[in-house]
Amino acid sequence: MLMADKPKDNVILFPKIPKVPNPKAQELDAKRQEMIRLQHNKIYVQALGDDITEDILMKLKDENFNLTDSTFLRDYKLFTETIRSLLLRQVKMKHPLQERVDKAITTKGEGKDLYAITIDYAKF
């Protein structure tokens, strides 16, 4: 018997009717993609924030600031959280400081015509 005469029992037949996508599966996939985006943005913001603040911390060390002083450390923590808040807002994510910034800081003008930024510390 020739090879061509053998029965083809090792062939898997696939359905000829295309499968209709499951809407729940698409919804889950969209949720998963959003979770991945959020996680990626958190990692990105953390890495970028660390780079920025590390450079500033090294500059302050070179200028002989006392980096172990408790007052310095409190101020530095607020500074780093402010940077983090700024970066998170840029990637459309929330941070608790953003509400305080929105309440306490006003601007005059927009875009290239922005000419005044005022902080009302009583609202902060």
- Give the tens place of pLDDT for each residue, 62-97: 999 999 999 999 999 999 999 999 999 999 999 999
- Helix, strand, coil percentages for the chain (3-state, nearest 5): 60, 5, 30
Give this prediction's pTM. 0.72
- Give the tens place of pLDDT for each residue, 102-114: 999 999 988 888 8
Q: Best-predicted range by mean pLDDT among 17-21, 23-27, 50-54? A: 50-54
Q: Is the pLDDT of residue 101 over 60?
A: yes
* 123: DSSP letter: T
CA distance 35 to 75: 33
What is the structure's pLDDT at 9?
72
